[in-house]
């Protein structure tokens, strides 16, 4: 009996956890945005420069429920969210779902491509840094550390200066073609790659010290075979666990990168909505990012379970 | 160089073809400042079909020698030899690529059983199949058929099922079989086994040694490395004793055991506790005197006090654990009594419930049924708040003392904390006194457990347990992580402390030799139940239960006599 209900219970716990996370995110965002000075009614009427009449402001406040106490506004927002209604943008006057829907694909493409590139770079760096020879170790260690420390805005500026302005190989702004994606993806991927490579290197070195490495060498396995067949898998597991977090990091990085490369996407939408105090859009973007984050955490758990079968059995040993 | 090497010529009628021939092997670690010579001129040869045991304490250079024989001494090691032949070919100038072709094909390696001696993320079939893929270029399907055959050869139960299991899903014995299968995959002329039976139950030990003896019977040369002379003497034709990187004695097993010439060999022999009577120190004065004169006569044991309640009394203990929907009864209706100044030995294989009994007596685990009484008063039923002031009266020593030390504390702080917990005055004098009791120098107070040897750590653990002036000491596998000689010194120490303080001891071990040497009373445990219990001599000399008899038969003892080699597979 206990056996049959176990996956179901796990699923229910997961779902409950996800709902809790979304509620917490919505609540924090709601109150945080009300700490920002400014009048949402102004925003609805076209921003501070619009010279709206007091009459118009009062009407808008009544229409949008902005004259209600804060807690009543909070309850009304939760009620709308539960029914799946993200509301209407103050500034664009279009449904928030449509606004986000148009931007989501671009940003997710950017983030996921950056994740793939970061993994590829990190694996390469980590393997290089554990290769025999002191030079490789020292140089790659320095590269990892530098890469992990690079800020997105600086990297983006340098990449544009070198590859667009200088060499003219790649466009400095998004142009809809694949070539426009290269620099933004690299900007996002490099710091993450440095971080993942440091993590992987530590676990690679640990795996190379383990008795199974000696067993494999004694079988006649090559140095490369040890790394690829044995050690890399051990090193990948912690990095997989961190990849859900990494996508969250990439989406927040997208705010900077999309702005610099003038690329449409969630990041830019979020930035503009915050400037304009467009509460429904900010809330919508934050919630969608939270959903993406929750989903990816589940996905990384499943992937980690495939890579490490011990996790699937609850870690019991003989 | 080393004087005694190969004093005895091989006692065979025809010259044996050597699969490993080493002369003047030197292995040096580190360069520049202070290079460390781990191996200082060793001669070693292993013939076809011969089992050679390389024996010595940890740090004697035996594992380094074994690794060097596979070209795996490590990146920082410098290996030199006057002669170094593996299956007839000189490997002194072998390139990494040439070494790779030799490893697995010409020499296989069996490591100590551990979850990670095989890659825990890969099925054992893939691990074993790797040798076939690397050297024969077999496709997965063809390799799988060969691997099934190998698993059958090493007596793996249900090969078709276990081939897809990972090391974490197998028992210690099955893992060791898989490791041997991987070493034998290409039928190499040389098999090197580095502590292949350490940490295994005695019954499994015998079977693992049997597999290695079978490999030798099929014509392989086996180099068997161990700190335990008793274990290897079961199957070894010749014994080579190492100390400090030098061969101190070598010869046919029977001769070395019957008439050891070097003090270090005599120490290794004396350290085997199996047939040493209760109360006789295993090693006399440490190291120097040598154990050839078995020290003082057995001390007079205090008779079992009559009338007074036992210090610890357990009645009808039951404890079950539920994991993933299935319930296991770890302890099933166990009765035990610990008397002042006496030792109860509790012996059983891993998984028999010994440690759960220890935790129940310490009231770290709440029993499902039954009670534990301390000096006739309630103990297991007390609420933790009422029990805490009494806790100092029962001390505990565990197998891995390192895991039970706060890694940030030095020895002095560990001991001061324990003294304070026992209500004493935690001064430097008290710390020095404790260290003196366990025969450690007071200088050690300033050290960190990380910098101590295994034996020193266990002594610090004992000192910590004594700090609270307990009446009872629960020792759960107190010596199973230690070399035999270190083990012997720790056992002698426990014995001495018991006599001085009148401690009641519970010694838990899978090693019947250890338990018997230490115990007045003996309890044999299996599947959570006590199979039999009684005076140690009676249980040992006339076991009532077949299982006890098997444990006694399998426990490592020195096979002294002209026919030193006995076939362990023949049981």
Q: Which residues of A touch B (CB under 8 A)?
A: 2-3, 6, 132, 210-212, 214-222, 225, 229-230, 233-234, 307-310, 313-314, 316-318
Chain A residue nearest residue B116, CA to CA: A212
**B24 in helix, strand or coil?**
strand
Q: Domains of chain B (ranges plus CATH)? A: 107-187 (no CATH), 312-554 (3.40.50.300)
Calpha distance B181→B537 (Å, rounded): 40
Band of residue A7 on the pLDDT scale cut at 50, 70, 90: low
Q: Please, which residues bridge with residue B319 across strands?
A: B331
Q: Which bin fits B170, alpha (ψ -120 to 50), beta or left (φ > 0)? A: beta
Give the least confident one: A96-105, A204-213, B203-212, B553-562. Answer: B553-562
pLDDT of B565: 36
Q: List chain A residues with CB under 8 Å of B164.
A: none
Rounded to whole angstroms, the Cα distance separating B341 from B504 reads 5
Residues in chain A: 318
What is the SS3 assignment for B315? strand
C-alpha count within 13 angstroms, C-beta hemisphere, residue B451? 10
* CB contact (8 A) between residue B183 and residue A218: yes
- Whether A314 shows a pLDDT value over 50: the answer reads no
- Residue B248: phi and psi, rounded to 5, are -100, -20
> Which domains does chain A show, CATH number per domain?
96-312 (1.10.3720.10)
Set of chain A residues whose Cβ sits within 8 Å of the Cβ of B166: 309-310
SS3 B114: coil
More confident residue, B406 or A200: A200
Residue A315, sorted as left (phi over 0), alpha (psi -120 to 50) or beta, turns out to be left
Cβ–Cβ < 8 Å for B249, B265 = yes
**β strands within B97-143, DSSP E:** 107-110
- The per-residue pLDDT for A4 is 45
Question: Shortest CB distance from A219 goes to which of B103, B115, B168?
Answer: B103
The strand ranges marked E within B470-544 are: 472-476, 504-509, 521-526, 529-535
How does DSSP classify residue B544?
S
From first CA to last CA, the distance across chain A in angstroms is 24
Q: How many other CB atoms are found less than 10 A from the CB of residue B386? A: 11
B125 touches chain A (CB under 8 A): no
Instruction: Kindly report, residue by residue over A245-276, the tens digit of the pLDDT.
Output: 888 888 888 888 888 888 888 888 888 888 77
Residue B180 CA to residue B27 CA, distance in Å, equals 27
Task: Say how many Å lie between the first and final Cα of chain B, rounded.
Answer: 42
Collect all residues with Cβ–Cβ distance below 8 Å to B269 and sequence separation of at least 6: B229, B257, B260, B291, B558
Query: What does the pLDDT average to over A106-129?
Result: 89
In this prediction the ipTM stands at: 0.76
**How long is chain B?**
571
Q: Per the CB < 8 Å rule, is B168 touching A317?
A: yes
pLDDT in tens, A27-79: 998 888 777 776 777 777 766 666 777 777 788 777 777 777 888 888 888 88
Q: Identify the H or E element spanning A84.
A: none
pLDDT over 90 at A119, yes or no: yes
Q: How many CB atoms lie within 10 A of CB B258?
A: 14
Chain A touched by B137 (CB under 8 Å) = no
Instruction: Dig out the tokens for A230 from the structure.
Output: 């044995």
Is B171 within 8 Å of chain A by CB? yes
Cα separation, B160 vs B100, in Å, equals: 30
Among B274, B299, B220, smallest CA distance to B498 is for B299
- Chain A nearest-CA distance from B95, in A, is 13
> Residue A164: is it exposed, middle or buried by C-beta count within 10 angstroms (0-12/13-18/19+)?
middle
* Percent of chain A surpassing pLDDT 90: 6
The answer, for B165 touching chain A at a CB cutoff of 8 Å, is: no
SS3 B326: strand
Q: Which of A4-8, A190-194, B45-49, B376-380 has the lowest mean pLDDT?
A: A4-8
Query: Is residue B62 within 8 Å of B491, Cβ to Cβ?
Result: no
Chain centroid offset of residue B379 CA? 34
Q: Contact at 8 Å (CB) between B516 and B274?
A: yes
Residue with tokens 């720790």: B490
Beta bridge partners of B522: B345, B534
A182-201 average pLDDT score: 89
**Interchain contact B74–A (C-beta under 8 A):** no
User: How do the pLDDT tens digits run along chain B, 571 residues long?
Assistant: 333 444 444 444 444 578 999 999 999 887 666 778 888 999 999 999 999 999 988 778 888 899 899 988 877 788 889 999 999 889 888 888 899 999 989 999 998 877 788 998 899 999 999 999 999 988 888 899 999 999 988 888 889 988 998 888 888 888 888 999 999 999 999 999 998 888 788 888 888 899 999 999 999 999 999 888 888 888 899 999 999 889 999 999 989 988 899 998 888 888 888 777 777 788 764 433 334 444 444 444 555 555 677 899 999 999 998 876 678 888 999 999 999 999 999 998 888 888 899 999 999 989 999 999 998 888 988 898 988 888 889 999 888 777 778 878 889 998 998 888 877 888 888 899 889 888 888 888 888 887 787 788 888 998 998 888 899 999 998 887 788 888 888 888 888 889 888 899 999 988 888 888 889 999 999 989 999 999 988 998 899 999 999 888 888 777 654 333 334 443 3
Residue keyed to tokens 């070894």: B236
Long-range own/partner contacts, residues B360-367 (CB < 8 A, 24 or more apart)? B360/B314, B360/B317, B360/B319, B360/B331, B361/B312, B361/B314, B361/B336, B361/B394, B361/B474, B361/B506, B362/B394, B362/B396, B362/B474, B363/B387, B365/B319, B367/B317, B367/B318, B367/B319, B367/B331
- Could you tell me the two tokens for B114? 């551990």
Question: Residue B555: which of B204, B223, B110 has the closest Cα?
Answer: B204
Kindly give, in sequence order, each residue whose CB lies less than 8 Å from that of residue A262, ignoring residues fewer than 6 positions away: A173, A174
Taking each helix axis from N to C end, the angle separating B454-467 and B428-437, rounded to the nearest 10 degrees, works out to 120
Whether B401 and B456 have beta carbons less than 8 Å apart is answered as no
| Cα three-residue angle B359-B474-B411, rounded to 5 degrees | 105
Are A218 and B104 an interchain contact pair (Cβ–Cβ within 8 Å)? Answer: yes
Report helix, strand or coil for B60: coil
Show the tokens assigned to B352: 């028999």
Residues 6+ apart with CB under 8 A from B479: B458, B486, B487, B490, B491, B509, B514
Neighbours of B408 (CB within 10 A): 7
| pLDDT: which is higher, A116 or A40 | A116
Distance from the Cα of A301 to chain B's closest Cα (Å) equals 16
The token pair at B376 is 């006739």
Residue A216 to residue B122: CA distance in whole angstroms: 12
- Chain B residues touching residue A215 (CB < 8 angstroms): 109, 111, 117-119, 127, 179, 182
> Rounded to a whole number, what is the distance in Å from the CA of A212 to chain B's nearest CA?
4
Contact yes or no for A216 and B119 at CB 8 A: yes
Find the CB nearest B103 among A211, A218, A310: A218
Contact B555, B202 (CB under 8 A): yes
From residue A28, alpha-carbon distances to A16, A66, A74, A303, B254 in Å are 18, 18, 11, 31, 79
DSSP alpha helix (H) spans, chain A: 2-35, 40-44, 54-64, 70-82, 96-129, 134-149, 152-159, 179-208, 211-218, 223-225, 232-260, 266-276, 279-307, 309-312
């Amino acid at each position: 009996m206990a056996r049959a209900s176990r996956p179901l219970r796990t699923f229910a716990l997961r779902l409950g956890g996800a709902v809790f996370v979304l509620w917490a995110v919505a609540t924090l965002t709601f109150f945080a945005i009300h700490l920002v000075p400014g009048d949402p009614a102004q925003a609805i009427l076209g921003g501070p420069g619009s010279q709206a009449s007091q009459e118009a402001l009062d009407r808008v406040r009544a229409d949008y429920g902005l004259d209600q106490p804060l807690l009543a506004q909070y309850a009304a927002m939760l009620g709308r969210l539960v029914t799946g209604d993200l509301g209407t943008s103050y500034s664009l006057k279009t449904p928030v779902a449509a606004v986000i829907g148009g931007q989501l694909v671009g940003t997710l493409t950017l983030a996921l491509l950056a994740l793939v590139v970061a993994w590829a770079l990190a694996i390469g760096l980590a393997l290089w840094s554990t290769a025999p020879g002191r030079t490789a170790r020292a140089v790659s260690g320095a590269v990892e550390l530098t890469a992990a420390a690079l800020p997105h805005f600086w990297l983006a500026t340098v990449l544009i200066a070198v590859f667009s302005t200088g060499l003219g190989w790649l466009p400095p702004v998004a142009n809809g073609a694949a070539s426009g994606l290269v620099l933004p993806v690299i900007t996002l991927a490099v710091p993450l790659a440095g971080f993942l490579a440091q993590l992987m290197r530590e676990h690679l070195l640990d795996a190379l010290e383990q008795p199974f490495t000696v067993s494999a060498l004694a079988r006649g396995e090559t140095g490369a075979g040890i790394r690829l067949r044995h050690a890399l898998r051990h090193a990948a597991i912690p990095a997989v666990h961190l990849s859900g977090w990494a996508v969250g990091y990439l989406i927040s990085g997208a705010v900077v990168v999309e702005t610099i490369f003038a690329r449409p996407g969630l990041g830019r939408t979020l930035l503009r909505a915050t400037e304009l105090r467009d509460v429904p859009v900010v809330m919508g973007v934050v919630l969608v990012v939270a959903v993406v984050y929750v989903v990816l955490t589940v996905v990384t758990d499943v992937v980690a379970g495939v890579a490490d079968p011990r996790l699937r059995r609850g870690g019991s040993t003989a | 160089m080393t004087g005694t090497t190969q004093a005895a010529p091989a006692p065979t009628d025809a010259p044996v073809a050597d699969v490993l021939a080493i002369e003047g092997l030197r292995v040096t670690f580190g360069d520049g400042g202070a290079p460390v010579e781990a191996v200082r001129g060793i001669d070693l040869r292993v013939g076809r079909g011969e089992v050679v045991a390389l024996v010595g304490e940890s740090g004697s250079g035996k594992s380094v020698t074994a690794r060097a024989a596979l070209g795996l001494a490590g990146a920082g090691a410098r290996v030199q030899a006057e002669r170094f032949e593996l299956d007839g070919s000189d490997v002194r100038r072998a390139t990494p690529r040439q070494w790779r072709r030799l490893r697995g094909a010409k020499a296989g390696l069996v490591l100590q059983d551990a979850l990670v001696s095989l890659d825990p993320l890969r099925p054992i079939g893939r691990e074993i199949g790797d040798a076939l893929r690397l050297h024969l270029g077999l496709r997965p399907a063809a390799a799988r058929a060969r691997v099934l055959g190998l698993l059958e050869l090493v007596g793996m139960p249900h090969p078709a099922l276990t081939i897809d299991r990972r090391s974490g899903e197998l028992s210690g014995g099955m893992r060791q079989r898989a490791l041997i299968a991987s070493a034998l995959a290409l039928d190499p002329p040389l098999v090197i086994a580095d502590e292949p039976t350490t940490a295994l139950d005695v019954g499994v030990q015998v079977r693992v040694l049997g597999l290695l003896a079978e490999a030798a019977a099929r014509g392989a040369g086996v180099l068997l490395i161990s700190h335990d002379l008793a274990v290897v003497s079961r199957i070894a034709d010749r014994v080579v004793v190492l100390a400090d990187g030098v061969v101190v004695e070598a010869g046919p097993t029977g001769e070395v055991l019957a008439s050891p010439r070097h003090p270090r060999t005599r120490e290794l022999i004396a350290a085997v506790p199996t047939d040493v009577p209760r109360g006789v120190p295993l090693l006399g004065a440490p190291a120097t005197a040598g154990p050839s004169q078995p020290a003082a006569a057995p001390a007079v044991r205090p008779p079992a006090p009559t009338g007074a309640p036992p210090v610890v009394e357990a009645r009808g203990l039951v404890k079950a654990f539920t994991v993933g929907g299935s319930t296991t009864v770890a302890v099933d209706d166990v009765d035990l009594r610990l008397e002042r100044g006496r030792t109860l030995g509790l012996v059983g294989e891993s998984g028999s419930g010994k440690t759960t009994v220890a935790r129940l007596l310490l009231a770290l685990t709440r029993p499902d049924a039954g009670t534990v009484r301390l000096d006739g008063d309630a103990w297991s039923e007390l609420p933790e708040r009422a029990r805490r002031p009494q806790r100092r009266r029962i001390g505990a020593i565990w197998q891995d003392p390192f895991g039970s030390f706060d890694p940030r504390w030095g020895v002095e702080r560990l001991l001061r904390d324990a003294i304070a917990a026992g209500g004493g005055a935690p001064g430097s004098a008290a710390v020095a006194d404790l260290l003196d009791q366990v025969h450690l120098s007071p200088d050690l107070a300033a050290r960190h457990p990380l910098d101590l040897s295994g034996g020193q750590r266990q002594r610090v653990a004992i000192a910590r347990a004594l700090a609270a002036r307990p009446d009872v000491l629960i020792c759960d596998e107190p010596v199973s992580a230690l070399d035999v000689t270190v083990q012997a010194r720790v056992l002698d120490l426990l014995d001495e402390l018991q006599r001085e303080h009148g401690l009641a001891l519970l010694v838990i071990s899978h090693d019947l030799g250890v338990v018997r040497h230490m115990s007045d009373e003996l309890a044999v445990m299996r599947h959570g139940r006590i199979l039999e219990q009684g005076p140690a001599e009676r249980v040992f000399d006339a076991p009532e239960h077949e299982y006890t008899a098997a444990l006694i038969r399998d426990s490592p003892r020195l096979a002294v006599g002209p026919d030193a080699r006995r076939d362990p597979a023949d049981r």
